[in-house]
Amino acid sequence: MQLNSSVPPGPIADKWENHKFSLPLVNPNNKRKFDIIMVGSGLAGASAAATLAELGYNVKVFCYQDSPRRAHSISAQGGINAAKNYQNDGDSVFRLFYDTVKGGDYRSREANVHRLAEVSVDIIDQCAAQGVPFAREYGGLLDNRSFGGAQVSRTFYARGQTGQQLLLGAYQALCRQIAKGKVEMHTRTEMLDLVIEDGIARGIVTRDMLTGEIRSHSAHVVVLGTGGYSNTYYLSTNAMGCNNTGTWRAHRRGAFFANPCYTQIHPTCIPSSDEFQSKLTLMSESLRNDGRIWVPKQADDPRSPDLIPEAERDYYLERRYPAFGNLVPRDVASRNAKSMIDVEKGVGQRKNGVYLDFSDAIARDGVQLITEKYGNLLDMYERITGEDPYKVPMRIYPAPHYTMGGLWVDYNLMSNVPGLFVIGEANFSDHGANRLGASALMQGLADGYFVLPYTIGGWLSGLLNTKPLPVDHEAFRKTEAEVADRINGFLSCRGSRSADWFHRELGKILWNYCGMARTESGLEKALSEIPALRSEFEKNLRVLGTNEQLNQSLEKAGRVADSIDLAELMCQDALHRRESCGGHFREESQTEEGEAKRDDENFTYVAAWESQGPGHAAALHKEPLDFENVALTQRSYK
């Protein structure tokens, strides 16, 4: 099958403008005739749902939490990028575009990234008008900071809670539409399957998490904004409920999964303290703006950090990358931390961290300024570890955090299944093989506020005066029955192990073999261990209670089952991509200095995988990537 990215012709800076003009419009009076299903209420889902409802469409929104305000976008700390150039430091749409393509290690689609950079400026306007309390200068203008490897200050922020404030802005816009009756909100409702008839997405099947009711919902279009799949690793910075069921079920129904091996391991997380740990906590990488990262020069140094003199510390990022120092991109910072721990220079009781030291910054700027900038992060660290970061250097270690891969979409954000759109982290589109800091919030809101509301019209305009498939149609009935069967399978297994146990085991396999560094033999090992884990899961899962109740173990079982399947595809993708790029580091493919070495000749494409059904290896489709505006170079942050 030929993948058509539908990228419009013309110079890159004109593509989006021209495309918007050429997209068919839906007359305002006709918009109310269209029903839209939105799964997920994070930055992408909530902003899209609110905007589509404002335009006049009828929107049904689904989320598994008890309120749309709790989606995991809320945890993003650092900020949101926009090419405003308010700081007069040489930023521009083209520079943000260039940085993002380069940061993604030349594995993203140029046209999408340029559009992202273009609409970034509108996002800030929209959010400021909503009352998002962005940080301000004394004159009342917006403040910016430099963030995660950027050499310009283009990041807007609201203390260390930018994601929270942007999400609340989108949530409030959503609430306004709920009150107007334009959005029908379904909380504590989980999408368990996608319904396809005649090759077109027609609706979804959901489970009411309080009553267990399995129900079909039908619409003219289905949009997934269900987030990423970092939780396949078990220990990640994602929320407990984050899962890949929405995207995986769509994949099983025909949607291609693109670049699943592109995962981001975030460098500044709190190291795990014991085996009971349920998740890892991220601390904003803005900490790297003022904190200095180091390890003792001597391996297995037993001394406490304050007793290690300056000369016996290795500020390895500053040493290896003089130009960027502690601000190298995430993938580089993470791999370097791993390389230090691999040679026994790790710190802390479990030797699983590196120091992030604020003492120089405190001496330079004073405690007050540091508290103003990072107070809530430093407090959080103290709460979790019981150590005072104003006195003792923090310990950090990388953790799975974001997934660049996701369902394949074209320029219009539509998957290869007509009528199924995918937005935010759930799609694969804009970050290539590595996402830059403060770009996730930008992409989620770009998709939701400014891209999907236009492009969805192109699909809907062709459906004028058609009705959605009725929910008593055979296609819905059949899918409902399959969903019920799957649930009964979990409940009737009556084995001896919890879904959590399987999740932990899966996480160990992925972290060891498909984590920060990957090898052919390791991935092959993972690909033999994952099917064994699956068959154990099928035989030995224990879920108590019934379907007709709030049953958190049952919810978990379904999510873990889908994670096991996706993990296998991640490893398959990682094995096939015999190059290193961004977050995907194959040890066989590195420069003499140990940096990721791409193989542009053979791998400048998007790997889009087509499901061949359970038990069969997925089939690969390639979307070639053309770079007309950015020259491919070896990334260098020296």
Partner 1 sequence: MRITLRVWRQPGPEAQGEFRTYEAPEVSEDMSFLELIDAVNEDLLEKGEEPIACDSDCREGICGMCGVMINGLPHGPSEGTATCQLHMRKFQDGDLIEVEPWRAAAFPVIRDLVVDRSAFDTIIESGGYVSVSTGSAPDANEILVPKSASDAAMDAAACIGCGACVAACPNSAAQLFTSAKLAHLNLLPQGQPERWDRVEIMVDTMEEFFGSCTNHGECEKACPKEITIDFIAMMNADYVKSKFKNRRRLGQKKAG
Query: Which of positions 386-445 make contact with partner 1 (CB under 8 A)?
Result: 386
Binding pattern to partner 1, positions 114-133, x when CB under 8 A?
Answer: --------x-xxxxxxxx-x
Query: Which of positions 302-341 make contact with partner 1 (CB under 8 A)?
Result: none
| Residue 58, strand partner residues | 35
Q: Decide the pairing of beta strands 263-269 and 619-624.
A: unpaired
State residue 295 phi and psi, 5-degree precision. -135, 160
Distance CA 243, CA 576 (A): 25
Pick from 215, 253, 279, 477 the residue near partner 1 by CB under 8 A. Answer: 279
Distance CA 278, CA 289 (A): 29
By C-beta, is 126 or 247 nearer to partner 1?
A: 126
We find the least distance from the C-beta atom of residue 503 to partner 1, in angstroms, to be 12
Pick from 3, 6, 13, 176 the residue near partner 1 by CB under 8 A. Answer: 176
Q: SS3 letters for 64-81?
A: CCCCHHHCHHHHCCCCEE
- Residue 138 sits in the site that holds partner 1 (CB under 8 A): yes
Please count the residues of this chain forming the interface with partner 1, following the rule CB under 8 A: 81
Contact assessment for residue 150 and residue 289, using Cβ atoms and an 8 Å cutoff:
no
Residue 538 is encoded by which pair of tokens? 């099928």
Pick from 50, 61, 93, 356 the residue near partner 1 by CB under 8 A. Answer: 50
Q: One-letter amino acid identity for 311? A: A
Query: Which of positions 341-380 make contact with partner 1 (CB under 8 A)?
Result: 379-380
By C-beta, is 168 or 328 nearer to partner 1?
A: 168
* Torsion sign across C-alpha atoms 297, 303, 304, 308: negative
We find the least distance from the C-beta atom of residue 153 to partner 1, in angstroms, to be 14
Pick from 87, 273, 298, 339 the residue near partner 1 by CB under 8 A. Answer: 273
Query: Which of positions 209-228 make contact with partner 1 (CB under 8 A)?
Result: 210
Pick from 161, 243, 415, 604 the residue near partner 1 by CB under 8 A. Answer: 161
Binding pattern to partner 1, positions 79-98, x when CB under 8 A?
Answer: -----x-x------------
- Residue 181 sits in the site that holds partner 1 (CB under 8 A): no
Pick from 31, 33, 107, 159 the residue near partner 1 by CB under 8 A. Answer: 159
Q: Residues with Cβ < 8 Å from 355, sequence gap 6 or more? A: 293, 294, 295, 305, 347, 393, 394, 395, 396
Q: What is the SS3 assignment for 369? A: helix
Residue 232 is encoded by which pair of tokens? 């396949």
- Residue 239 sits in the site that holds partner 1 (CB under 8 A): yes
* Interface region with partner 1, contact rule CB under 8 A, candidates 157-165, 357-365, 409-417, 430-438: 157-165
Distance CA 381, CA 270 (A): 8
Pick from 27, 278, 466, 602 the residue near partner 1 by CB under 8 A. Answer: 278
* Interface region with partner 1, contact rule CB under 8 A, candidates 295-303, 398-406, 515-523, 548-556: 548-556
Please name which of 360, 295, 408, 386 lies closest in space to residue 2, comparing C-alpha atoms.
Answer: 408
Please name which of 415, 368, 90, 107 lies closest in space to residue 261, comparing C-alpha atoms.
Answer: 107
